[in-house]
Amino acid sequence: MNEEKILRITGIIAIILVTYFLILTVTYDFPTFGLPVQRVGQYYIENTLKDIGAWNAVCAIVWDYRGYDTLGETLVLFTAVIVVVVVFKVGLRERNEYNR
């Protein structure tokens, strides 16, 4: 019983230490706190015309660099309107009004 407890506490401390050093290795690469993060924005501004060939950088970011995000957003809107139709069609069916 006692040995088990010691083993457990040792394991917990080991996990905490490993996580601490992993987080340290990641935060080493972070920008300084308070400074604006400009790497991605600078890359987009400089390379949009070369990569995509569109003048509108917002459109290029939305549909190419962040394409999956916009695809999901479109499908969320699609599903939301399906839900609206499903919810409000119940009352129309009772009054036989839904397929005119």
Binding stretches for another protein (CB under 8 A): 49, 51-56, 58-60, 62-64, 67-68, 70-71, 74-75, 77-78, 80-81, 84-85, 88-89, 91-92, 95, 97
- Which is nearer to another protein, 45 or 59 (by Cβ)? 59
Tokens at 88, concatenated = 């409000």
Q: How far is residue 35 from each of residues 18, 38, 39, measured CA to CA in Å? A: 29, 9, 11
- Which is nearer to another protein, 35 or 86 (by Cβ)? 86
**Taking every pair of C-alpha atoms in the chain, what is the biggest distance, in angstroms?**
77
| Residue carrying the six token digits 């407890």 | 5
- Which is nearer to another protein, 7 or 92 (by Cβ)? 92
